[in-house]
Amino acid sequence: MKAMLKSWSVLIVAMLMALSLIACGNAEDAAPNSAPSETPAQQEKPAEQPAEEQGALKTQYPLTVKDATGTEVTFEKAPTRIVSLAPSETEKLFALGLDEEIVGVSDLDDYPEAAKSKPKMGGFQVNEEAVIAAEADVVFSASMNAENAEKLRGMGVKLFVNDPSTIEEVMSSITLVGQITDRQEEAKTVVEQMQQELASVTEAVKSVKEEDKKKVYVEFSPGWTVGKGEFMDEMITLAGGVNAAGDTEGWFEISEENIIAANPDVILYSSNVVDEATKKTLDQMIKERDGWDQIEAIKNDRVIAMDDNLLSRPGPRVTQGLIEVAKAVYPELMTP
């Protein structure tokens, strides 16, 4: 059955297909999920940061840092006009208290609530005229290929691309954005909270023996799942599970017979996906497939809805998404 997805499932399809949020070229050119050549932790050593009398961390300018495309970007001072071209970057900026400095966001942004009222800079394809007109001191993006990045830079846009592929890299990117924007103290607070949330999961599931680990199948768009080397695969592993599709890499269209054979203990699905024609939710589509009633997860009613924005956006809420995954897989271990 070919599902017509509601507006938010479009974002998930884009992620599954590994397209850049602003890619203008072919998908194979975008490579949004490839890890940057240097993670923020491996980038150029920043200048020494003098502490103020109160002990607060302050950025010393000029500051030169390297982004995920390998481009060095120099900041003469803290940016006061900021544009974001990706929901994950927008969430980072708001988490750092930069509401007043944000002068543009992507059409896809829906969190926090204040993001909805910001000027829009385009969705899957950037509105280049709007970006230029915003006269931003810096434009943050995620998963943008080098060709499209250079196109914007050729228009005089100061662009900084983040592309974290693990939770640790997400935290490093938040630290880096905090350094660029002179919000290091705020970034430190955000990262410490994320570290606590990550630790709460790993501590809770550390007693699960290898032979007792639950097999987890993920479906965020009808007929598509995730294998090794992707963000969601790492979350399943950190939550103490085993990816039922872990013998394949990347996002891919499933073989229904293979999933039946894998026999997952838990199925996670997107709560945002609804078939426009039939009004069926994704869990209904999954349960109605031939032979799937023999899968343990379905027999034991372990088909669980997830907020895909918590899981698909490499921003400050990703560790909250990890907690939700762990609760779905091991509810008995994730009690308050």
The structure tokens listed for 60 are 């010393």
Nearest of 18, 23, 8, 34 to residue 229 by alpha carbon: 34
Helices (H), 273-313: 282-287, 296-299, 308-312
Q: How many CA atoms lie within 13 A of 156 on its CB side?
A: 7
The per-residue pLDDT for 97 is 98
Query: Residue by residue, what is the 3-state secondary structure of 130-156?
Result: HHHHCCCCEEEEECCCHHHHHHHHHCC
DSSP state of 46: P
Task: Please report how the helices 231-238 and 184-205 are oriented relative to each other, as an axis angle in degrees rounded to 10.
Answer: 50
* 9 phi, psi to nearest 5 deg: -70, -20
Name residues of the chain where pLDDT drops below 50: 1-49, 51-53
The per-residue pLDDT for 31 is 36
Query: What percent helix, strand, coil does the chain show, rounded to 5?
Result: 40, 15, 45
The per-residue pLDDT for 55 is 58
Asked whether the CA dihedral 224, 230, 232, 236 is positive or negative, the reply is: positive
Q: How far apart are CA 141 and CA 124, in angstroms?
A: 12
The per-residue pLDDT for 53 is 45
The per-residue pLDDT for 89 is 98
Q: How far apart are CA 278 and CA 270, in angstroms?
A: 17
Is residue 259 within a helix (H) or strand (E), and if so which, with residue range?
helix 256-262
What is the model's pTM?
0.82
The per-residue pLDDT for 54 is 52
User: CA angle, corner 194, sides to 238 and 205, nearest 5?
Assistant: 30
